[in-house]
Chain A
Amino acid sequence: MSAEFMQYLLTGLTVGAIYALVALGFSIIFNASHVINFAQGEFVMIGGMATVSLTAAGLPYLLAIPLAVAAAALVGLALEKFAVEPARGASVITLIIITIGASIFLRGLALLVWDKNLHALKPFTGDAPIAFAGATILPQSLWVLGVTLAIVLALSWFFGRTLLGKAMLATSHNRLAAELAGINVRMVLFLSFGLSAALGAIAGILIAPITTTSYDVGVMLGLKGFAAAILGGLGSGVGAVVGGLALGIAESMSAGYLSSAYKDAIAFVIILVVLFFMPSGLFGKRGGERV
């Protein structure tokens, strides 16, 4: 029984860590612009697919992964520069629709640049499952958990200790005040897209050896990451991580103990219940507009 529980927990944590990384990407862009970037899932896909083709070209992981993350970040920056910025006067809804368009465009582009097939990446360190308290875990899952932890720590340092990070945080709290204090808000928005894209790409690379990747892998991961961000409270870093892990664990527990047919439904019911009592999510900013 407890071995079973352990297995569901480990599964949930691994999947949840990926949701958390995607959710963080949503939150960073949301903070900078109040835009929900629906192309976030596509960054996940670009990370995985670019690594696949770079390693197929003979590059070692140490080179291929940074290149793939950089490529995704560039796509993110280009998306901001050429799609979001020209429409900066437009309403948030318009911007969101632009990101939906961008996601369809990026998926189509991936179809042309790469192909329609599923691809597998080699695990970073071996394929042999590790036994742990009666359950098993793949070495790659440890990578997922470890790297996610490292990224969360790095991000909290970035937002807490660096000038640029503080500027981004300030923009999220009060855009006008930040601008008055001399923060280049446009630059913050620009960089937030790059940062989100890089996070998404890392998630895509970490998960590819476990789940395989393809041009349309971003759709579902993007949706789950979005749900995680909403659950945790859009815009909250802690919320994104907690939301992601909670969603992952809820899914695997309900698949294991209740019904695998309804596991997504159960996970989303939990989200709805939470949002009913806490409309801004677990860690979201409380209170409505002040008049």
Chain B
Amino acid sequence: MKFMQARTSFKRGLAAVAATFALFAGPAVAQEPIKIGSFLSVTGGAAFLGDPEQKTLELYIGKINAAGGVLGRKLQLVSYDSAGDAEKARTFAKRLIEQDKVDVIVGGSTTGETMAVIPLVEAAQIPFISLAGAVVITEPVKKWVFKTPQTDRMACEKIFVDMQSRKLSKIALISGPGGFDKSMRAECLKLNKKYGIDVVADETYGGGDTDMTAQLTKIKNTPGVQAVLNPGFGQGPAIVTKNYGQIGITVPLYQSHGVASKEFIKLAGAASEGVRLPAGALLIADTLPASDPQRSVLVSYKREYESQFKSDVSTFGGHAYDGLMLAVEAIKKAGGTDKAKVRNAIEATRGFIGIGGIFNMSPNDHMGLDLTAFRMLEIKGGDWTLVK
């Protein structure tokens, strides 16, 4: 009897505790933040990608929250530094999904990190917007995976189109050992025939190499070279460009979108005059005609970023802006954070004007950009100019 009493009082106590919890939890549920998960290479070799991406996410989540949030709920950023390491990226993605229980993941600065995470997000069925470049991320299409940056394939196409218009049909390639270099080189070698372009020389250089005059001399002495293409990023292209000027090669030099930053012009110096490269419109935001549909988005992002962080805006931060905004728009459209609905809403994105271009997603295209997302730029007088 006594025992029974004890049990009922225990039960009563439990109920009281539960009620108390419910009392506190009740209003909290309505206010529960929308969790945006992210893993970025904030440090390490790919820090020039992850750093502006992280800053952009923080800046715009802060701004959205200050303006009242999304659907009356605040956004909460849960972000980890994967330091360019695919293994770390996997661990953090697991943590985002299982412990932090985020609603959507926007992140993955490099292709390696992104590819390592894809099996996890596919299994957990959570929308994932990658900020990395390679074609393999969205080809073949994966149900839960999207991406915002233009691909290296598009960069090759843009360059080849420009070469065609200048009647350049015999070109030399020179590239480095990085994943970006290799991937873009392979894409270019797949596409060149389609544009009637012959690759007559294909040179490479090592990571941390300090001089490429030997390779370039070889290219210079290859008969018939009409242009040189250097897919790559970081130090390599800057040295290639300098050496190019040094040994006096006169045919046009093309760089990739990997060096689309003011820093490149500064590093390569006077030798960068006349270099052409495909890049997002962000670099020339201020000089775009008022009729350009992207202009207002670009100018406002550039102003916000530069006034907040006192450093030059970068294309890579723009990828994070696009990723975040695509997610936010989709959550608004889905009317909540139901993962399947959000995913469908992202896939249904049409005419979204972002930093990277105008996005038109579809079930067969989880990137949603076309060649208009790239502009062909030429360096003139130490600044970017649009090639007409």
Q: What residues make up the interface of A, taking CB atoms closer than 8 Å to B?
A: 4, 7-8, 10-12, 14-15, 18, 111, 116-120, 127, 129, 135-136, 138, 207, 210-212, 214, 216-217, 219-221, 251-253, 255-256, 260-261, 263-264
Query: Are B213 and A127 in touch, CB under 8 angstroms?
Result: no
Contacts of A212 in B (CB 8 A): 235, 238-239, 267
Give chain B's interface residue range (CB within 8 Å of chain A).
35 or more
Query: Are A117 and B213 in touch, CB under 8 angstroms?
Result: no
Determine, out of B162-170, B241-249, B280-288, the stretch whose residues face the partner at the interface. Answer: B241-249
Q: Is B45 an interface position by the 8 A CB rule? A: yes
Q: Is B363 an interface position by the 8 A CB rule? A: no
The one of A11, A118, A255, A260 that contacts B238, using a Cβ cutoff of 8 Å: A118
Contacts of A120 in B (CB 8 A): 238, 266-269
Query: Are B217 and A8 in touch, CB under 8 angstroms?
Result: yes
Query: Are B218 and A260 in touch, CB under 8 angstroms?
Result: yes
Contacts of A135 in B (CB 8 A): 247
18 extra interface residue pairs, beta carbon distance < 8 Å, beyond A211-B211, A220-B207 = A4-B217, A12-B214, A18-B210, A118-B234, A118-B235, A120-B267, A120-B269, A129-B248, A210-B211, A210-B239, A211-B235, A212-B239, A212-B267, A214-B235, A217-B235, A221-B208, A255-B218, A260-B215
Q: What residues make up the interface of B, taking CB atoms closer than 8 Å to A?
A: 43, 45, 47-48, 51, 203-211, 213-215, 217-218, 221, 234-235, 238-239, 242, 245-248, 263, 266-270
Query: Are A207 and B43 in touch, CB under 8 angstroms?
Result: no
Query: Are A255 and B214 in touch, CB under 8 angstroms?
Result: yes
Nearest residue in B to A222 (C-beta to C-beta)? B208
Query: Are B270 and A127 in touch, CB under 8 angstroms?
Result: yes
Q: Provide the bound-state CA to CA distance between A138 and B213, in Å.
A: 11
Nearest residue in A to B46 (C-beta to C-beta)? A116
**Majority SS at the chain A contact face:** helix
Query: Are A116 and B51 in touch, CB under 8 angstroms?
Result: yes
23 A-B contact pairs sorted by A residue (CB < 8 Å): A4-B218, A4-B221, A8-B217, A11-B211, A12-B214, A14-B211, A18-B210, A116-B43, A116-B51, A118-B235, A118-B238, A118-B263, A118-B267, A120-B238, A120-B269, A135-B247, A207-B210, A210-B239, A219-B208, A255-B218, A260-B203, A261-B204, A264-B206
Q: Provide the bound-state CA to CA distance between A117 and B312, in Å.
A: 12
Contacts of A221 in B (CB 8 A): 208, 210
Q: Provide the bound-state CA to CA distance between A214 and B203, in Å.
A: 25
Query: Are B246 and A256 in touch, CB under 8 angstroms?
Result: no
Contacts of B215 in A (CB 8 A): 255-256, 260
Nearest residue in B to A208 (C-beta to C-beta)? B210
Contacts of B45 in A (CB 8 A): 216
Most buried by B among A116, A220, A264: A116
Q: Provide the bound-state CA to CA distance between A135 and B242, in Å.
A: 15
Q: Provide the bound-state CA to CA distance between A209 and B369, in Å.
A: 39
**Contact A7 B213, CB 8 Å, known A116-B48, A211-B239, A260-B203:** yes
**Majority SS at the chain B contact face:** helix
Contacts of B48 in A (CB 8 A): 116-117
The one of A136, A253, A261, A264 that contacts B246, using a Cβ cutoff of 8 Å: A136
Q: Provide the bound-state CA to CA distance between A260 and B47, in Å.
A: 28
Q: Provide the bound-state CA to CA distance between A129 and B244, in Å.
A: 11
Q: Provide the bound-state CA to CA distance between A255 and B214, in Å.
A: 6
Q: Provide the bound-state CA to CA distance between A212 and B218, in Å.
A: 23
Q: Provide the bound-state CA to CA distance between A14 and B214, in Å.
A: 12
Q: Provide the bound-state CA to CA distance between A135 and B220, in Å.
A: 12
Contacts of B211 in A (CB 8 A): 11, 14-15, 210-211, 252
Contacts of B206 in A (CB 8 A): 263-264
Contacts of B246 in A (CB 8 A): 129, 136, 138
Q: Provide the bound-state CA to CA distance between A220 and B247, in Å.
A: 25
Query: Are B218 and A256 in touch, CB under 8 angstroms?
Result: yes
Contacts of A252 in B (CB 8 A): 211, 213-214
Q: Provide the bound-state CA to CA distance between A212 and B269, in Å.
A: 11
Closest 4 CB pairs of A and B: A220-B208, A255-B214, A211-B210, A256-B214
**Contact A7 B217, CB 8 Å, known A118-B263, A120-B267, A260-B204:** yes
Contacts of A264 in B (CB 8 A): 206
Q: Provide the bound-state CA to CA distance between A29 and B96, in Å.
A: 48
Q: Provide the bound-state CA to CA distance between A260 and B213, in Å.
A: 11
Q: Provide the bound-state CA to CA distance between A135 and B248, in Å.
A: 10
Nearest residue in B to A252 (C-beta to C-beta)? B214
Query: Are B210 and A210 in touch, CB under 8 angstroms?
Result: yes
Contacts of B204 in A (CB 8 A): 260-261
Query: Are B242 and A136 in touch, CB under 8 angstroms?
Result: no
Minimum distance in angstroms from A137 CB to a CB of chain B:
8
Minimum distance in angstroms from A47 CB to a CB of chain B:
14
Minimum distance in angstroms from B47 CB to a CB of chain A:
4
Contacts of A111 in B (CB 8 A): 43
Minimum distance in angstroms from B223 CB to a CB of chain A:
14
Most buried by A among B48, B209, B211, B215: B211
Contacts of A261 in B (CB 8 A): 204
Most buried by A among B204, B207, B268: B204
Q: Provide the bound-state CA to CA distance between A10 and B28, in Å.
A: 71
Nearest residue in A to B271 (C-beta to C-beta)? A127
Q: Provide the bound-state CA to CA distance between A264 and B214, in Å.
A: 13
Nearest residue in A to B205 (C-beta to C-beta)? A260
